[in-house]
Chain A
Amino acid sequence: MAALELDTLTKSYGALRALDGVSFTVGAGEIFGFVGSNGAGKTTTMRIVLGVLAADGGTVRWDGRPITLDDRRQVGYMPEERGLYPKMHVGDQLEYLARLHGLTPQAARASARRWAETLGVEQRLGDEVQKLSLGNQQRVQLAAALVHDPELLVLDEPFSGLDPVAVDVMSGVLNDRATAGVPVIFSSHQLDLVERLCHRVGIIKTGRMVATGTIGELRATDRPRWEVVGPTDPSWLAAVPGARVLSQAGDRTVVEAAGDGQDVLRAALATGPVHEFTPSRPSLTDLYRHVVSDVVSEEVAR
């Protein structure tokens, strides 16, 4: 399996610079989470990868060379604007899409059935798409992205509108595909899900990648953080030089401090009993807020 490379993509809508040098790589077997606020440029980027939108500049590479229509036929795509023929039967629709992607009629039929079963919509194969609930339409849409055994998955907010069981099924499928060596890129606003599922994450802000890396890399901070449960006195940390309170809520305090944290623990014990003392790493949500607001303050500063 090959890797997908995005190299300094730019795209403007009139005066609006929607993408401003977007670059990142998704390796074989990797699940890449693409996050960013509304209007940041996620959908624009994905459309350019699929060729339904032309970039103004930059290159999309597959297997080291610029991506072609034949390569794109091997991509499983779930557009942000879901779209299937409303009056076509689920089974016919999946078969049709599979055939358009190059499967023989027999293989298309078998694959349509297999994916419908995997995603729990096999009972609805003979129904018109418009008769399905939104969540089930979403499952069919995912089946449509998977039905031709794609070599690359590009999914724009695949989890929106799914119930928890469907989220689990979908997560399982993505893991499966990645294990089979398929690079998977998906966008989402559900950061806990991204954190759980993705090997690497890219954060985009107003058309620019502001952070890319593994969750571990992103969460690694210059100064360690500690979470202390116990002290309620607001000034208990005053004795520790260089320590800083990041947040305090009730008896729970998050502290940023250099060193191994033992001086923080001592200071906490000095004020009373300590129930918990753990190293704390920022969640993706924290990171995201941090990165996004940083850029905002940067922009405000300019």
Chain B
Amino acid sequence: MSTVTSVSPLRAVWIIAQRELLVRLRQRSFIITTVLLVVGVVAGVLVANATTGRTTTYTLGATDAATAAVVEQSAAASGIEAHVTTVAPGDVDRLLRDDDYDAVVEPAPHGLTVHVLTTLDPTLQPLLHGIAQQQVLTTQVDALGGDPAQVSAALAQAGATVEALDPPTERDATQIIAGVVVGIVIYVALMIASQLVAQGVVEEKTSRVVELLLSTVRPGQLMAGKVVGIGLVGLAQVVVTVGAAAIAASRTGLLDTSGIRVGPTLGWALAWFLVGYTTYAIVLAGLASLVSRQEEVGSVITPALMFMILPYVFGVSVLPADPTNQLATTLSLIPGFSPFLMPIREGMGTTAAWEPWLALGLSLAVLPVLVWLAGTVYGNAVLRTGARIKLKDALRRA
């Protein structure tokens, strides 16, 4: 009997957690959902990449060096990336057809002639139009004996300055998408993980193995081990998914061009997953211990699931169009709702620096109460198999 050592409570929790880890990681359904999540977010990143109107580089030609220089300068001035070369007039046809030139420009008496394959790109239209007018103006000013350079300089100064009362915050679409993707991933992972806890609790009741287990460990240890084990599995799922999204985003260059705050977004996503998981896993574990059959799990945990579904649905449906929505902002500070709303807002970059910390503090303050309530219910109910136990009874027997 020399091999027997005493088992500290933490050790017992860890042994139980290890079993959960092993069992879940081997489950085919877990592997499939993880793969689906990864595929989903990577697809999301690619869509974001395609739809955020990233600056394309235009290939332009000009039949003489002077025009080429003017086009290049004007393009640079208006923030259009263009590769301008001087080409022979006879090559125009070939360049447009075979070499994918977007346009070839040729000086003309009235300004410019622009050769294109079918239509002129809308972005290039005002640019070339402007150049043509400029050139006509230069000719006219010259003819009138003025100084074209002076006129150009004066023109460059001219323009309508906009004075807005409520200037809109500059927000790019990638930030909105980042917020929504983070929100979805956290929601899906939380739903999966916390329901696994509920199912696991009932599985032990249904199979009656709980009586054997509770002859060596305390109910609290069994519940904690289950929550920790499944939590680690869920965490791994979130890390893999968000990691895949981050890698995809950096590979496509999406991160260079957008305002996403990558570090804080990922950090807070993990933090909110952990907080949300702990909150809902223990609540669902407590509720699930009231029933003895898998068919009853759904009905007993539905009220708690509502607290998860509502903020999520509200967040992903309202925030993309209205990232600073007042109700969402308020709800995101409330424990239980924060894990779903705060990461979306964080991803969209609409949180004030203090907001996530306040929400985190509030959420953590509520946790001990939830642990105590759920632990009491679980301890009282988990050995009572048979009919569904009333929540009131399970709380009272403490």
Chain A interface residues toward B at CB < 8 A: 47, 50-53, 69-70, 72-75, 77, 79, 81-88, 92, 96-97, 99-104, 107, 111, 144, 148-149, 151
Contact = CB atoms under 8 A, between A and B. Distances in A.
Nearest to A77: B215
Given A72-B215, A103-B3, A83 B207 contact: yes
A70 B6 contact: yes
Given A96-B15, A100-B12, A102-B6, A52 B209 contact: no
B210 interface: yes
Contact of B216 (A47, A85, A100): A100
A25 B213 CA distance: 25
Contacts of A70: 6
Contacts of B95: none
B209 A84 contact: yes
B19 interface: yes
Interface of B: 1, 3-7, 12, 15-16, 19, 22-23, 203-204, 207-218, 383, 385
Contacts of B15: 96, 99-100
B215 A148 contact: no
A293 B144 CA distance: 134
B19 A77 contact: no
B4 A148 contact: yes
Nearest to B218: A69
A99 B7 CA distance: 9
B4 A102 contact: yes
Given A69-B218, A88-B23, A74 B212 contact: no
Given A70-B6, A85-B203, A100 B211 contact: no
5 contacts: A52-B215, A73-B7, A83-B209, A85-B203, A87-B23
Contacts of A81: 208, 211, 385
The 9 closest A-B CB pairs, nearest first, are A83-B208, A107-B3, A83-B209, A81-B208, A50-B215, A79-B211, A102-B4, A77-B215, A102-B7
Contacts of A100: 7, 12, 15-16, 213, 216-217
Contacts of B23: 87-88
Contacts of A107: 3-4
A73 B207 contact: no
A101 B4 contact: yes
Nearest to B12: A100
A70 B4 CA distance: 11
A96 B23 CA distance: 12
Contact of B210 (A73, A83, A149): A83
Contacts of B22: 92
Given A52-B383, A103-B3, A82 B216 contact: no
Contacts of B4: 74, 101-103, 107, 148-149
Contacts of B3: 103-104, 107, 111, 149
Given A51-B214, A52-B214, A149-B4, 6 more contacts: A47-B211, A85-B207, A96-B15, A102-B4, A144-B212, A151-B1
B206 to A, nearest CB: 9
A111 B203 CA distance: 26
Nearest to B22: A92
B1 to A, nearest CB: 5
Contacts of B211: 47, 52, 79, 81, 83
B72 to A, nearest CB: 69
A96 B19 contact: yes
A70 B6 CA distance: 7
Output the residue of B16, B22, B212 with the most chain A CB within 10 A: B212
A211 to B, nearest CB: 28
A53 B382 CA distance: 12
A103 B385 CA distance: 30
Contacts of A52: 211, 214-215, 383
A102 B5 contact: yes
Contacts of B209: 83-85
Contacts of B383: 52-53
A73 to B, nearest CB: 5
A53 B380 CA distance: 10
Contacts of B385: 81
Nearest to B222: A100
Contacts of B204: 85
A38 to B, nearest CB: 17
A185 B251 CA distance: 67
A280 B16 CA distance: 56
Nearest to B1: A149
Contacts of B207: 83-86
A136 to B, nearest CB: 16
Nearest to B200: A85
Output the residue of A51, A85, A97, A148 with the most chain B CB within 10 A: A85
Contacts of A103: 3-5
Nearest to A81: B208
Contacts of A50: 215
A87 B4 CA distance: 27
A48 to B, nearest CB: 11
Contacts of A47: 211
A239 B396 CA distance: 71
Contact of B212 (A69, A97, A102): A97
B212 A83 contact: yes
A75 B211 CA distance: 13
Contacts of B212: 77, 79, 83-84, 97, 144
A279 B212 CA distance: 46
